Amino acid sequence: MNAVVVGGGSWGTVFASLLRDRGHEATLACRDPEQVAAIRATGRNPRYARDVDLSGIEASVLTEAPIAVAELVVVAVPSRAFAAVVRALPGQAPVLSLTKGLDPTTGNRLSTLLRGRPVAVLSGPNISEEIAHGLPAAAVIASEDRNLAERLQHAINSTVFRVYVTDDVVGVELCAAAKNVIALAAGGADGLRLGDNAKAALVARGLAEMRRLADAAGARPETFAGLAGMGDLVVTCWSPAGRNRRAGELIAQGTPPEEAEATIGMVVEGLTTAPVMRDLSRRLGIELPITEGVCAVLEGTSLSDLVKQLMARPPTTE
């Protein structure tokens, strides 16, 4: 398969190497010509996933990448850039989205921004640093086109990266977006040193919020108990490498959100997604108290005060 990976961040870089290792022709398309020149000269990405050997992978400036003749276009860009990137994609090749979030302008799922071409979404507990070092991982590919999902499954699946398929695109995309918001809250629990009991309770109630969202949006609840839901939620909330967890920890310790993202040096999707998810829940008429709380903290509410408010909510059935 001739594939172009759009996005030279950590996950795009690592995913390009996964494609290369499965025998596909992979091009890594980046916006910055200096980044492209460095990859061509050294075989390494100078900014992200620096340990990944990119030999055998062509690096190209995005505007010059062979997207029009590619058999697959993989999009691994921040959610806030997704709409502009896919709008400009030439050709009619299927698109595989690796981006976890919602469109911040419309609140829509990202796959809905692609019109007139086949689309699939890949998600799951995929910390790119671990995959880069050859550690085993699993993911799920969702598409309304079952044949496309299965073709991609067979093209990507390996002994170190196991791939499952589903047709629940709504569920997989909402899981991918919601888990980042819950991970911000989990990081806040770490930052305040609230203990493992509090963090586990928060994650469990976060999963309940995700299932409530699934019911309201027409997704299948079992998706939220799978790789894209519980699997990704657990790793994002506990991994030291989780950007959203780390951002929540820094914010709890007094770092402003913008500075937290700058300190991490990579996009923290939960910061963009939280208010979009809150607005979506209000449109759907459902309560997402953790999501509402994360937004309140991002807008200046004391995290300690928020914890007291959440604990003081009227008791109810589980």
62 bridge partner residues? none
Residue in the structure block whose two tokens are 């981006």: 99
Distance CA(58)–CA(4), nearest Å, equals 9
Catalytic residue positions? 179
How many CA atoms, within 13 angstroms, populate the side-chain half-sphere of residue 293? Answer: 27
Burial environment of residue 315 by CB neighbours within 10 A (0 to 12, 13 to 18, 19 or more): exposed
